[in-house]
């Protein structure tokens, strides 16, 4: 076992494990060096590259878990969907009709993304820490597929959900099936935990979430149950959804920076909390970082806690500050801090 | 008095008044006709144009209140800040230092935006419904001034708050003073209510809001107290801030679409609630709109309610759908609906 897995399984560890969302990414010069010579799809699809990028932050920062380098869009091209990155995902033909949804293929498990299985095997050979696999939640994947690209308000997608709920459910159902195959494959290849990213769930009200997100998320998370790996879930900007999220079949909920962990903890009983430093804090100087990190750690003392940012690390971040973050978390003794609080 | 003012003052009216955020805007062909011939600053600064645009939705939709056509950036150029619209606001020289903040001027009340006073007088002569004036909250204005433009994560601004809190407070203090002058001028010219727009407050955690937003918002709202006009406040995506927002000195809180009004009401005791239809609903067909509007109206039955969207109307909206919205709200008898609920 490892500190990360212990905490993910609900253990109130003496030290909070840490990993960083987007820890493999554009703030690292060694990542940019690879990016200069390779397209984004190459970085995802060439197992040696995906492995190397996954391991970069482990070497530099000494975080307690690795997260597979891929995009949430990775499993979708075999369904018959054309996607380019410019640099955000752009869908060749946005899906807006039941006919377009019905035309989507559901590839067999070993056809979804075989290069990911290879990357995972390579990473497992080299990584000193557990490997987190991941996928996009169906509602979030559908957000891009219907809208066609990133957007400020995702108006077309929000319209689609209301105007054609039948097509929406058909799409979510297919994305759920493909996600189950994709994530099972990751676990069978060696992933030791799975995080489901529901980046855009927070855009919707709780009623919409209950109808179009929760049943599909639950199906995916339940399909992973037999593997006995911890399941992590993240929805950004989702305080209004926690009454639905609290009953998702998963062990860990990742919390964004908006609300303190001590306030969120009673809303998500029995879950390990992951988070929740504001990523902008890492742009300030080290003294500010130390104070804010220790505050988040103190807010997390009420139960099992995996330290992370509340959202992905920003590309402007100085890698030295990321290292300072990791070292600050590692130096924080949760048992001692609790004793001090009781005094 | 009017239905809008009655509800704003806390009266549990038999029919919910309605107005629509951005009701004067790009979804209206008559607005686009003016926009074709005029720059955005001309539309703001020529009183006859600002008056005409303000009145367009009153004529077409029959809403219960007018809102001044301006931008939250309107009062800033006399401080010595260059702003263009492309189409979002672009700051010529983003403010990042205490020196730059110290160089900002604080214009006299009648120098801030005299054209707005003229526009208000014209509107008051012609409008059959009360006129809402408005301004941007200091934190939201500072977000643009420091960042320099719209952004997905406003990283530079969030860094600035932590790295140079002294400069941040100096900037917020000046913006507060100018906002007070600007809003006093609006009321003295004839505005019958004031809405303070804190569009980006929800980006921050409650601690940051308490430090950098609440004291300045309170100062502005208190400065308007002697005029005895209702004060409205909106922060989008702010459920995590309501424990701070509930004690702002204002009568009305505008709520975004994420949480139902029945859930928000006990969090904001004594306030009139304004909102909170998801603007995307207006992109669906009329039957969907009717159902969703009646649901919001039912959720609002627990106290004083001004109907509005949870955010600005989308430019893709069919004006016929906006009219259908207004008519649906007008046809809803709150007293009768309550009796039905009690049966």
Min distance B197 CA to chain A CA atoms (Å): 18
How high is the pLDDT of residue A152? 86
Nearest to B258 among A205, A260, A316 (CB): A205
- Determine how many CB atoms are found less than 10 A away from the CB of residue B97: 11
Q: A290 contacts in B (CB within 8 Å)?
A: none
Inter-chain touch B205–A258, beta carbons under 8 Å? yes
Residue A299, in any domain of the structure: no
Q: Tell me if B220 is assigned to some domain.
A: yes
Is B88 a domain residue?
Answer: yes
- The tens place of each residue's pLDDT in chain B, 343 residues long, gives 799 999 999 999 999 999 999 999 999 999 999 999 999 999 999 999 999 999 999 999 999 999 999 999 999 999 999 999 988 899 999 999 999 999 999 999 999 999 999 999 999 999 999 999 999 999 999 999 999 998 889 999 999 999 999 999 999 999 999 999 999 999 999 999 999 999 999 999 999 999 999 999 999 999 999 999 999 999 999 999 999 999 999 999 999 999 999 999 999 999 999 999 999 999 999 999 999 999 999 999 999 999 999 999 999 999 999 999 999 999 999 999 999 887 7
Q: For residue B82, is it within any domain?
A: yes
Residue B30, H or E segment: helix B29-37
Q: What is the C-alpha separation between B340 and B139, in angstroms, rounded?
A: 44
Nearby residues of B160 by Cβ (< 8 Å), 6 or more positions away: B96, B146, B167, B168
d(CA A135, CA A194): 8
Domains held by chain B: number: 1
Collect all residues of chain A within an 8 Å Cβ-Cβ radius of residue B88: none
Cβ contact B159–A288 (<8 Å): no
The predicted structure's pLDDT at residue A237? 94
Write out chain A residues lying below 8 Å of B204, CB-based.
258
Is there a cis peptide before residue A276, judged by omega within 30 degrees of 0? yes
- In whole angstroms, how far apart are CA B195 and each of A321, B179, B231, B256? 40, 12, 6, 15
Nearest Cβ partner for A284 among B162, B237, B284: B162
Contact B314 A153 (CB under 8 A): yes
Contacts of A204 in chain B (CB under 8 A): 258
Question: What sign does the CA torsion over A24, A27, A30, A33 have?
Answer: positive
Alpha carbon separation from A268 to A32, A220, A255, A304, B275 (Å, rounded): 38, 20, 10, 12, 28
Q: pTM for the whole thing?
A: 0.95
pLDDT digits (tens, 9 = 90+) for B58-81: 999 999 999 999 999 999 999 999
Q: Which CA distances in Å does B221 have to A231, B25, B114, B133, B187?
A: 47, 27, 21, 13, 12
Compute the distance between CA of residue A257 and CA of residue B203 in angstroms, rounded to an integer.
9
Handedness of CA B180, B184, B186, B191 (dihedral sign): positive
- Provide, as residue numbers in chain A, all residues whose Cβ is less than 8 Å from the Cβ of B159: 280, 283-284, 316
Per-residue pLDDT for chain A (343 aa), expressed as one digit of tens each? 799 999 999 999 999 999 999 999 999 999 999 999 999 999 999 999 999 999 999 999 999 999 999 999 999 999 999 999 988 899 999 999 999 999 999 999 999 999 999 999 999 999 999 999 999 999 999 999 999 998 889 999 999 999 999 999 999 999 999 999 999 999 999 999 999 999 999 999 999 999 999 999 999 999 999 999 999 999 999 999 999 999 999 999 999 999 999 999 999 999 999 999 999 999 999 999 999 999 999 999 999 999 999 999 999 999 999 999 999 999 999 999 999 887 7
Contact A91, A83 (CB under 8 A): yes
On chain B, the residues whose CB falls within 8 A of the CB of A316 are 155, 159
Q: Report CB contact under 8 Å: B155, A283.
A: yes
Which residues on chain A are in Cβ contact (under 8 Å) with B288? 162-163
DSSP A113-172: -HHHHHHHHHHHHH-SS-EEEEEE-HHHHHHHHHH-S--SS-HHHHHHHHH-HHHHHHHH
- Alpha-carbon Rg for chain B, nearest whole angstrom, is 19
Name residue B133's beta-bridge partners. B194
Provide the residue count of chain A.
Answer: 343
The contacts of residue A106 (CB under 8 Å, 6+ apart) are A79, A174, A177, A178, A181
pLDDT, residue A343, reads 72
Interface test with B, best of A159, A261, A292 (most B CBs within 10 A): A159
DSSP B18: B
A294 in reach of chain B (CB within 8 A):
no
Q: Which residues of A touch B162 (CB under 8 A)?
A: 280-281, 283-284, 288, 292
B259 and A278 in contact by Cβ < 8 A? no
In sequence order, what are the residues at sequence separation of 6 or more whose Cβ sits closer than 8 angstroms to the Cβ of residue A34?
Answer: A43, A49, A52, A53
Question: Does B337 lie at the interface with A, CB-CB under 8 angstroms?
Answer: no
Query: B36 lies in a domain?
Result: yes
Q: Burial letters for A234-258: b for 16+ Cβ neighbours within 10 Å, e otherwise? A: bbbbbbbbbebbeebebbbbbbbbb
CATH code for the domain of B261: 3.20.20.210
Residue A282 counted as domain residue = no
Task: Measure CB to CB from residue B159 to each of A159, A280, A292 and give the nearest one.
Answer: A280
Q: State the nearest Cα–Cα gap between B167 and chain A, in angstroms.
A: 14
- Domain assignment of residue B326, yes or no: no
User: Is B281 an interface residue toward A (CB < 8 Å)?
Assistant: yes
What does the alpha-carbon distance between residue B115 and residue B135 come to, in Å, rounded to a whole number? 15
Q: pLDDT tens digit string along B155-187? A: 999 999 999 999 999 999 999 999 999 999 999
Separation CA A125–CA A117 (nearest Å):
13
Closest CA to A252 of A306, A197, A172: A306
Q: d(Cα A179, Cα A237) in Å, to the nearest integer? A: 23
Q: Strand B83-85 vs strand B89-91: parallel, antiparallel, or unpaired?
A: antiparallel
* Residue A323 covered by a domain: no
Closest approach of chain A CAs to the CA of B61, in angstroms? 22
Render B237-253 in DSSP notation, one character per residue: S-GGGHHHHTTSS-SEE
What CA–CA distances, in Å, run from A328 to A61, A243, A293?
12, 33, 7
Q: Hey, is A173 helix, strand or coil?
A: helix
Q: Is A304 left (phi over 0), alpha (psi -120 to 50) or beta?
A: beta
CB pairs under 8 A between A and B: 80
Cβ within 8 Å, pair A292-B162: yes
A260/B205 CB distance under 8 A: yes
Structural domain range at position A32: 3-12+28-271
Measured distance CA(A326)–CA(A56) in Å, rounded: 15
By the 8 A CB rule, do B329 and B293 touch? yes
Burial-class residue B179 by CB neighbours within 10 Å (0-12, 13-18, 19+): buried
């Amino acid at each position: 076992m490892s500190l990360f897995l212990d905490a993910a399984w609900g253990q109130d560890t003496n030290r909070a494990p840490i990993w960083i969302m987007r820890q493999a990414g554009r703030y690292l010069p060694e990542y940019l060096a690879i990016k200069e010579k390779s397209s984004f799809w190459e970085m995802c699809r060439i197992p040696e590259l995906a492995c190397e990028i996954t391991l970069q932050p482990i070497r530099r920062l000494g975080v307690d878990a690795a997260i597979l380098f891929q995009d949430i869009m990775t499993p979708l091209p075999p369904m018959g969907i054309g996607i380019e990155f410019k640099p955000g995902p752009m869908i060749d033909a946005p899906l807006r009709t039941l006919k377009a949804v019905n035309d989507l293929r559901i590839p067999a498990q070993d056809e979804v993304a075989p290069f990911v299985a290879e990357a995972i095997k390579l990473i497992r050979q080299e990584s000193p820490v557990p490997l987190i696999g991941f996928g996009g939640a169906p509602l979030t994947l559908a957000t891009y597929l219907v809208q066609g690209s990133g957007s400020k308000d995702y108006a077309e997608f929000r319209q689609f959900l209301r105007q054609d709920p039948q097509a929406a459910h058909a799409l979510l159902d297919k994305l759920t099936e493909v996600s189950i195959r994709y994530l099972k494959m990751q676990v069978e290849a060696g992933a030791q935990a799975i995080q489901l990213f529901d980046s855009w769930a927070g855009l919707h009200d709780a009623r919409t979430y209950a109808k179009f997100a929760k049943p599909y998320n639950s199906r995916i998370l339940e399909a992973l149950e037999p593997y006995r790996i911890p399941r992590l879930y993240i929805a950004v900007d989702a305080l209004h959804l926690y009454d639905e999220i609290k009953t998702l079949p998963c062990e860990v909920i990742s919390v964004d920076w908006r609300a303190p962990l001590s306030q969120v903890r009673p809303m998500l009983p029995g879950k390990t909390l992951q988070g929740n430093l504001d990523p902008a804090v890492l742009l300030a100087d080290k003294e500010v970082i130390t104070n804010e990190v220790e505050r988040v750690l103190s807010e997390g003392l009420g139960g099992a806690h995996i330290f992370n940012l509340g959202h992905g690390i920003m590309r402007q971040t100085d890698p030295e500050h990321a290292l300072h973050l990791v070292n600050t978390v590692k130096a924080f003794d949760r048992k001692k801090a609790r004793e001090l609080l009781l005094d």
